[in-house]
Structure 1
């Protein structure tokens, strides 16, 4: 059967034969408009365990033997989500040979930050190439509609090209490099290679990059300002302009000026090399194919450091110190105080974290930890780097860092021709791997730390003050005059209640970044007189509304007295001035007379509980959606705990407070119970608040930390994976409490029993689901100090940190809900500000 193509000779196809071999439809290098490919209908080529790539579903195939290029859907090993990618493969008789685990090598990915499930690729009649997820949402597009595109071609060099009637490329993958360059590919000014965070995780990008600028080629960490880690500041000649580029040609990485090679060779590369890749560890490696062993080998390491692996910024992670023998350690104060701990004891190369995060609000409690003979890659491997301060003393260098809030470390470097009391000072806003090398004796490092002794609550001085104050208050309350004053104050407060309320409301307008203030009448118009109710809960109702620009919002009307006022003020002050992709956006608020209303962005898919506690096949989440939701929640909480100016503890994490947008991206909502904690405090005392079942055991002590959110997160993960509520009275007594069931299944060695049995997709991903349950167990540890921080949780989900093996599964029952090992079914009474039932609607629907 012949199919005719209306392509010009440049497409290398006037017609092609669509062949069938062993049931596999052979892919071709070209395609017409109005063509659709569905991953599930394309036969996949699977690879063995020696390759990080699990399978390739080829759409376009170019070449025979090595190198050949396949463009299509790629799934990573043990994953069910897909990437639309170009890979170097080995072909045999015009089909991909899958007998060698060395293949394929992915050199370009379209939807790097948006992997898809059950994807569809459509080459539209308007000339746009569109990748859609299984739910129909657009994950990636070339955005070439209306640009006279007539065809799609995969070239001999592995370039995916959309071209017009004159054979001129309208769009090409070479203009959007990922982490690799293949033979014939250029790197132009403004472009960069950005590696993945690990060898097997292609969907998370590193801070590393190889960047082209108008002045040269830079291998660097993309911080602000960038930190160059390799002396490849190869300067362009005086003819430098925006049309200059480097190109990977046989045997060299060469400079081209005005499309003409000017003879400059940046890096010599073995001629047999077929592609080069900037990798997660900072190395730029060229690869060639060993035909005898049928596998890829490293032909050259192109950014070899003067100090070996220690010269690479990620070799020991953040704050990790790389020694001459290749070991990674954490900064040591040489005293009783430990300021840093390893992120993962079994993997020292993952770096270190601060026991107490730096806080710009408390610089008086900071000090600079002096570490002699400590160097850093920005100047040790780049002699041309300019210091932040030149010809200064060590004292000047330390003071400069101490006075600069954004400075996290300072390095004092004394050169051979500089007077003994002066040198160069480098100030760092981000600290990556450090170097402790024998040949770097002329450098001293100063690491800024937050003094732990100043953030421990109930210190002796504080207790002394508290005792003194207690004596004074006791004496005062015992006197008659105090009684008269108290009575007078009560009368004054009752008369001034309205004025105080107005002052508090006006206070909101003084907070920087506050959202819009609505009038009550305007909200009646927006919601059509509150006619479209989305949901109802203990604190009021939520209504759908439409703003003048056509965008939808959710309007939450709060009903009640004092506890509602507290909740309202807490929510507006907390979320009103912060913004994050995984936090629901507060559009505005209304405080008019007795009305208290909050206006949120509209979340079309409602709250998470509707999707995981389903009673109908209409609401089904597959594994990748559940995993992405868990990841989104973790990112949102990490932002609240570690990235805001003041630490924010949510205190009511549960499925009802996780909202889903049209693409099932999860956002944390309802900050009515949240608590702000200063960075100089490790814990806070507050009344119990939250929802039964999600409350951490330490609530009984009244002193809590952000780890209560980690516990609640663990419960939510357990619910997402099992599709069961934390309390289910429809079950027999021993199965009512989900955490108790979890513990029992662990003891029985039947953890897979807890995975959602109504979802075939969840059963197919049993191994990954069980690993997620182990993460939940880590978050549910009874001792809050043994729970991970949310930043560690994110790293676990990124595949950078492993869950410890020594977990304790003796989970405590939640506070106020245990007696003789049986869970009370009666309603538990909490503080007035707390919702009483897990089913309370506490966010916009």
Structure 2
């Protein structure tokens, strides 16, 4: 019995010791937001902020086999497949086995141990100076996405000894700083990922200028290619970042003192999820998560054009804005690393398919002639030769010569790689000849004589017979279809005048007319219906006209009318567009015979028109100002989707159209005040016109229509709808007041929230000072529900006009109702 009792006691003690030893290793509980000294993260373990907005743990980037410790969005609204990563610890040193690796506190520091239990990343805190150790140190993931290392046993001596906000990677979260420390002369900057599947430091970074109060985007932390402009403390914005003006979602602030200078931002509405990133594209992007689409929505980006990013396509790569992919290798070249190109990492550039060889060689070389918008930034050598041929001969005989150019400044030789080449069709300023092996260039002298002779000899009889049949078919078709059509700039067609004369039945069925010319309905031989616009007062020459038309034809968007072709014969200039079966919105708003557009359709028209204008203003290679936004220039397709017409035509028509606009009298209709003041016209002129048109979309009547005395206000003053809207918005106190603004034909059936929002947007758009008007991209964001909109002030000039029309001395002038193509 004593022996049995002894064995039992020993067993109990062993179990107790095992229990105590295991109790020293504490597992992370589900939903934990901290890591203490005796805890670690490994495998699929994570910690989550208290409000569950962010999560920290091991993640894998894309299809890569590497794992990283990082933080990602965990909000229920944001999809976690794939994860949206906001911060990465070991971006330069990944691990391959997350189950054998650990994130834990060692010696007062948060460290990452790899599979061999070697430290590959650490917070790098001097534990002796901070009086911290593993027993009193804790890691906390805060609700704002800041990972904080704290030391202390109680609230009185707790200090933050390290935080991830001081070491941002590619994402700038609200509340974090991008700063310059004046004491240590160090910067906190954003650095792009190397590729979409590699969070290692890429080539592009955003930093604060230590000399001036501005932000810079740099390539390789050396070459600047974008600046925000200096900080304007009065207006709370950077001078070259207009997106910050009238911004009702981000509260930006800039601070500069003797220790540091920094820029930070917060959210006016904390429920909105937003982030700024230094993207792999080399663009700084502000993104907001949109509940309606369940996607990240681009709020703004800089530089706006992808090809403005320095060295985006690498050596011997050419960038183009007109289509995807942005980057292509020159003819005779191929990507240095195709896998990297597939991940949108073009930094490696392109290499020749056949290397240049020095000394005696049987390889023959020729020159690929390319045109570029800019002279490559790499240093070139000027050569003292007299002729084009001598310049070419020198490069051909010099094995280190990559390319040459010859112009009025003489001969330039490039022994280095060529960067920043452009593949777009406009603004070509320099021609460069790139040396390439002859066999890698397309040949125009293919000798197919033997093959052709054999084929022709063997089937001569069949060819003659088929040729005769084909000839008869062609003659028959020529009696029924167009002739003289030639493909131009891709899908554009160059029509001869007599063909369009036939298609429109001698221009007999007029659809409408306006400041640019008259529009006629036509039918092509394939039975497709088109709208043919006869332009009036075109001031451009033949070559310039074709160039501008080619540019217009390359612009395609779901909310823009597509240009199908053109005709240019002498003074006859015509454009051929897709036909819109439901005409213009003006035909329905202002006509008794038109459709009564319900509120949902009207709101989508306002949103779609804004999207079309955003594309013209911000997403084309060159900004396009429409100059004639009005209901007659917003057309409806078969599904009542809006499409903006006549974009780009103001430049074609030139001075004559400007004269027509600026000589209009009486009410300014859709014209912004700056048209009459003579100052330079910007995209904000379109914003003003959009605002006036939106008010008509709400009321169903023209703003400029004189009201009957029976419809006057109670005090006898005549109504002017834009001021009615402003008065009710600012002074009204009932929802019924807002609904009174609605087109009576809708019987009050509209979303009060959307109606109020649209009224506010319209009033902001028609402000006197163009700087007070929002950009069309902000209008789109507001209508999409991403941005909130504040109460607008009353436009001063419209208030004055409103007062004047009640003096009974003003004669109203309205544009002739017209329907554009």
TM-score, normalising length: structure 2: 0.42
Structure index of larger Rg: 2
TM-score, normalising length: structure 1: 0.41
